[in-house]
Amino acid sequence: MTGKKILTWIVIMLVIAVIFTVKLLHQAGVFKTIEPMKNAPYACSRVTDIPGPEDIVIDRAAGIAFISSDDRRAALRGKRVPGAVYRYRLTVEHAVPENITPALAFEFHPLGIDLYRSGETVRLFAVNIRADGKYIEIFDYRDGALTHVESLHSDLITSPNDIAAAGPRSFYVTNDCGLTSPLGRTVENYLKLPLGSVVHFDGARFTTAARRLVFANGIALSPDRKRLFVASMLGRSLEVYDRDPAQGTLDHSASIDLGTCPDNISVDDTGALWIAAHPQVMKVLPHRDNPSLLSPSQVLTVRFGPDGDFRITDVYVDPGTGISASSVGAATDGRLLIGTIFDPMFLDCRARK
């Protein structure tokens, strides 16, 4: 090959690299300007002294929010502080979060959580990132306390992030990445390789229910349990699956472009989705390492019409001054709780009249 041809190929590769990089930065929101919402529908106040409230699920019948908490910044410093599940009573004015985690015989570092309620029976499912492996912990909630029922583990659960309870002992869990080494995860995420998946446990066995997801993050079932929703964070999309309630199998039915990087998903009684997101996702890791480097936050709703149409609406947008790196938005009766991955606080927001 002549020197001229080599130079031509070098120029072509450089152009391709520049185009790829600019596209990546654009999709990551680097060029966005994030400002607080004008005429914001909610007024928010901070609830402090709870480290890393990454996921929140609401028991509407009891008026209680359950909050997954873990000090991830301490873990980065080599100190694994025990995590916890907190109870936050929505019916009590000036309520404070209460640690209701029992003394456990194993490490507890919860990430995604979900509730299953059947009559008076309330069960809490939690993704637990332990030093000896990745587990799903199941608890019973009664008389204001959690009682550990069992720990479940499978070789299919390699990088668990969030969980959707489907029954008293069945669930779906996301593997956000397919590669598990630090270098592999970095390459997978920057190249946006579709290696994430959804694993189903039917009460007896684990199976892979969905594949080819770009960083599979939040997951939730519709109120009738006939549809499953998965947040493809780096794909900037909401993936929708039709579900066979009897078999638990999934059939992909839609991919909705959200225009932002979604994290956890909550579903209200009407079937509307409340999705926390990272409008500038490349600021999340710098914020992890330095709390003074803010990471913008966003909460949006997706409401479905009778004919399969949908409407996407922002309900909270902030450059990071109110809360940074929002990971969940859970709503009920004019209240919206917004959690975060790293900071020791969450927002309790009330609808403006």
Strands 310-318 and 326-332: unpaired
What are 113-127's pLDDT values in tens digits?
999 998 888 999 999
Task: State what percent of residues in the chain have pLDDT above 70.
Answer: 92
Average pLDDT of the chain, as a whole number: 92
The Cα–Cα gap between 105 and 113 comes to: 20
CATH architecture of 32-351: 6 Propeller (2.120)
Cα angle vertex 246, ends 245, 249, to 5°? Answer: 70
Q: Say if residue 290's pLDDT is above 70.
A: yes
Q: Are 242 and 249 in contact (CB under 8 A)?
A: no
Residue whose C-alpha is closest to residue 140's, from 154, 129, 126, 128? 126
Which three-class secondary structure string do you get for 134-175? EEEEEEEEECCEEEEEEEECCCCCCCEEEEEEEECCEEEEEE
The Cα–Cα gap between 267 and 252 comes to: 19
Q: Are 58 and 332 in contact (CB under 8 A)?
A: yes
Tell me the C-alpha to C-alpha distance, in Å, between residue 32 and each of 279, 280, 320, 341: 8, 8, 14, 22
The Cα–Cα gap between 274 and 55 comes to: 12
- Number of helices (H), then strands (E), belonging to the chain: the values are 4, 24
Half-sphere exposure at residue 148, Cβ-oriented, CA atoms within 13 angstroms: 17
Domain-by-domain residue ranges, the chain? 32-351
What are 184-222's pLDDT values in tens digits?
999 999 899 999 999 999 999 999 999 999 999 999 999
What are 133-173's pLDDT values in tens digits?
999 999 999 989 999 999 999 999 999 999 999 999 999 99
Residue whose C-alpha is closest to residue 329's, from 294, 301, 288? 301
